[in-house]
Structure 1
Amino acid sequence: MEVLLDFGARFVHQLQSPTLAFLLGGILIAALGSRLTIPDAIYKFIVFMLLLKVGMKGGMAIGEADIGAMLLPALIAVFMGCLIVIIGRYTLALLPGIRTEDGIATAGLFGAVSGSTLAAGTVVLESEGIPYEPWAVALYPFMDIPALVLAIVLASVYLKKKKDGAGEKVAIWPIVKESLQGSALSALLLGIALGLFTNPDRVFESFYEPLFRGLLSVLMLIMGIEAYARLNELRRVAHWFAVYAAIAPLMNGLIAFGLGTIAHYLVGFSPGGVVLLAVIAGSSSDISGPPTLRAGIPTANPSSYIGSSTSVGTPVAIALGIPLYIGLAQAVFGA
C-alpha cells in the first residue's frame, strides 16, 4: 500500500511539474479555441538554447571524468540507448492502431535520459550512503544521443519506404548524416564540444542556467497546442502507450543493471554506479528528447511520447525503479 501511495504522490507531482503542467496548459487553451500562436522562429531559437545548454553540461561532465575507467560503462550506455529504441520499434510501434512514427518517437524518448530522474537517483544514493563514481552522472549523453539519433533514423527510413514503396532499397548513411546535421542534434553536439573542449562555466552559470526552466516551459506550451490538434489520433490507442510507459522503465532499468553488474566484475564499476546506470536506462527524457524528436520526426504526435513519458514513465522510474535497483544492489553486492 505504501508503494502505491508513493506512486500516486509522484504521479500528482508530475502533473504539477513545469514539463507536464505547461503541456497540459497548451492543450487546454487550444481546446478552448484560443488563437495563441508562437512564431516558428521563436520556437527554433528556444530549442537551440535548450539543447546547447544540455550539451554544454554533458560536455563539462565528460571533461572532468576518468575516461579510461568510464570506457566500458559508456559503451554499455550507448548499447542501452540503441537497444531501448530497437525494442520499442519492434513492440510498441507494431501494436494495433499505433502509427509507426509515434511508436518509434516514444521509444526514442524512453531511450533518452531524464536529468531530473538522474538527479533523484544521486540524492537517494547519497542518503543511503552508497558511493558511486563522480563521473557516473556523465554517462547520460552516451545513452541520450544514440537513442535520439537512432529513433530519428528508423522513423526516417520507415517514412521513406512508405513514400517510395516497401520494395525500394533505402540508403541508410544519407539519413544518418542528415539526422546528425539537423538543427536539434547539431545544437546538442555543438554544446557537448563546447563543454568538453572550452571553458564555458561562467557564461553557462550566468546566462544559460537561469534561462533554462523558463524557456522549457514555453516550449512545452507550444507542444501542448500542437498536441491538441492531434489528440483524436491518440484517443483510440492511448492504453497501449500507458502499458508501454508502465513496463518499459523497469524492463530497461533491469537490463542495464545486469550489464552494469558485468562491468562491476570486469572493471570494478561501483555498485552505486551500477544503480545510476539502471536509473538513466529506466528514465525517459524531459529536456533534450521532446524538442529533438519534434524537429527530427515532425509527423509524430507529441501527445503520445510526451504524455506517456511524463504522466506514467517518470513516476514509475522514480517511485518504483530507484528503490528496486538499490535493493538489488544491496542484495547482489552487499552495498
Structure 2
Amino acid sequence: MQIMMDIGTTVLDQLQKPTLSFLLGGMMLAALGSKFEVPQPVYKFIVILLLLKVGLGAGMSVRDADLLSLVIPALAAALTGIAIVALGTRALARLNGVSKIDGMATAGLFGAVSASTLAAAMAMLDADGIAFEGFIGALYPFMDIAALVTAVVLGRMSAQHTASQNATSDGTVTMGGGTGGAAFHVNRELVRGILVDTLRSPAISALLLGLALGVLAKPDVVYQSFYEPLFKGLLSILMLIMGMEAWSRLSELRKVAHAYVLYGLTAPLVHGLIGFGLGLIAHHLTGFSAGGVVLLAVMAASSSDISGPPTMRAALPEANPSAYVGASTGLGTPVAILSIPLWVWLANLVIGI
C-alpha cells in the first residue's frame, strides 16, 4: 500500500510540472474543440532547435567521456530498439485484426525514439536536480535507427516471402527476388537505403549536426547564451502541440482494430521496463547514472513522432498509417510522457537518486 501511495504522490507531483501540465492542457483544448493552433512551420522550428540543443549538449559531453562509459549504454540502446521491434511484432501478430505488415510498422515506430519525449524527460530531471550523463542525446540514433531498420527489413522480407509463394509457373515472382542470394542482395540494398534515408531525416540530421558541432567545434558560448535559456519555454509549447495532436489522432484508431488501443496503452510500459533493465546492466558495468537509466527507459517507452512515420510510409507503403501513427501518437506518446515519474520512482527504489 505504501508503495502505491509513493507512486501516486510522485505522479501527482510530476503532473503539476510544466512539461506534463502543458501536454494535458493541449489534450484538453483539443477535447473541447478549441480552434487554437500553432502553425506547422513554428512547430518544425521548435523541434529543430530542441534537437540541436540536445545534440550540442551531447557532443560537448562526448568530448570528455570515457569510451567504455559511452559504448556500453550505446549498445544497450541499440539492443533495446531491436528487442522492442522483435517483441512487438510477435505480440501484434497474436492480436485479432492486425495484419503482419501493419504490426511490423507499428512495432518499428514504438521501437524508435520520440525526440520530444526525451527532451521532456531531460527537462523534468533537470528541474528535480537529478543528474544524468551529458552524452545521453548521442544514444538517440542508436535506438532509433536500430528499431527502424529491424522493422523495415522484417517487413520487406515478409513481403518477399509472400511474393515467392505466389510465383508464376515460369519461376518468376510478383515481387522481390526468388532465390536466396537475390533476396539477400535486395535486403542489403534495402538496409543501406533505410540507413541513408533515416540519417537524412530532419530529426536525425539536426541531432547529428549538433553532436558533430559539439565534438569538433567550441559552441559552449552560444549553447549557454541561446539554446539553454530557450529550452524549457520551447518545450512547453511543443508539449501543448503534442497534446492537441495526440487527441486528434485518437479518432484514427476508430478505423482500425481495437488491438491497437490495447497495444498503445500497454506497450510503452513494457518497453520502458526493457530499457530500464538494460540501463541497469550498464549501471552495474560502467557506473551509468540513475538519471541515465531513467532516460534510457523513457527512450524505450517513447515512440517515434518525427523520423519514424515518413520512414515507414516510404519503406512499407502497404502498411496502414491510421494504425501505426494513430497507436503511437494518439496513445503511445501520452502514455510514455506520463510514465516518466514511474521510471524516476523505480530508479530511486532500485538505485537511489
Aligned to 1:84: 80
Distance change (3 Å), C-alpha of 1:293 and 1:9: farther
Of 308, 313, 317, the match for 2:335: 308
Alignment of 1:1-335 (within 5 A): 1-65=1-65, 70-93=66-89, 94-95=91-92, 96=95, 100=103, 101-109=105-113, 114-116=121-123, 119=126, 123=130, 137-157=133-153, 167=163, 168=176, 169-170=186-187, 171-234=190-253, 236=258, 237-261=260-284, 263=285, 269-270=286-287, 273=288, 275=290, 278-284=293-299, 290-293=305-308, 299=321, 300-301=325-326, 302-312=329-339, 314-326=340-352
Report the more deviating stretch, 275-284 or 181-190: 275-284
Report the CA distance between 1:193 and its aligned residue. 1.2
Distance change (3 Å), C-alpha of 1:219 and 1:122: closer
Distance in 1 between the 2:240 and 2:154 partners? 29
- 8 Å CA contact retained: 1:50, 1:288: no
Distance in 2 between the 1:190 and 1:2 partners? 46
| SS in structure 2 at match of 1:284 | helix
Report the CA distance between 1:233 and its aligned residue. 4.4
Number of residue pairs matched by the alignment: 303
Aligned Cα RMSD in Å? 3.5
Distance change (3 Å), C-alpha of 1:81 and 1:46: same
Report the CA distance between 1:120 and its aligned residue. 8.1
Distance in 1 between the 2:62 and 2:221 partners? 18
Distance in 2 between the 1:163 and 1:40 partners? 35
Distance change (3 Å), C-alpha of 1:87 and 1:64: same
Letter in 1 for 2:346: L
| SS in structure 2 at match of 1:13 | helix
Report the CA distance between 1:278 and its aligned residue. 3.5
Distance in 1 between the 2:152 and 2:217 partners? 34
Report the CA distance between 1:304 and its aligned residue. 2.7
What 5-or-longer segments of structure 2 have no aligned partner?
164-175, 177-185, 314-320
Report the more deviating stretch, 237-246 or 158-167: 158-167
Report the CA distance between 1:231 and its aligned residue. 0.5
Distance change (3 Å), C-alpha of 1:227 and 1:242: closer
What 5-or-longer segments of structure 1 have no aligned partner?
126-135, 264-268, 328-335
- 8 Å CA contact retained: 2:11, 2:341: yes
Letter in 2 for 1:194: L
Distance change (3 Å), C-alpha of 1:275 and 1:54: closer
Letter in 2 for 1:85: G
Aligned to 1:330: none
| 1:258-285 per-position Cα deviation (integer Å, ceiling 9, x unaligned) | 3543x3xxxxx44xx3655544433338
Q: When the two structures are superposed, what TM-score results if normalisation uses the length of structure 1?
A: 0.75
- The percentage of aligned residue pairs carrying the same residue is 30
Letter in 1 for 2:335: S
Distance in 1 between the 2:114 and 2:274 partners? 11
Distance in 1 between the 2:148 and 2:244 partners? 23
Distance in 2 between the 1:20 and 1:238 partners? 22
- 8 Å CA contact retained: 1:47, 1:291: no
Distance in 1 between the 2:162 and 2:232 partners? 43
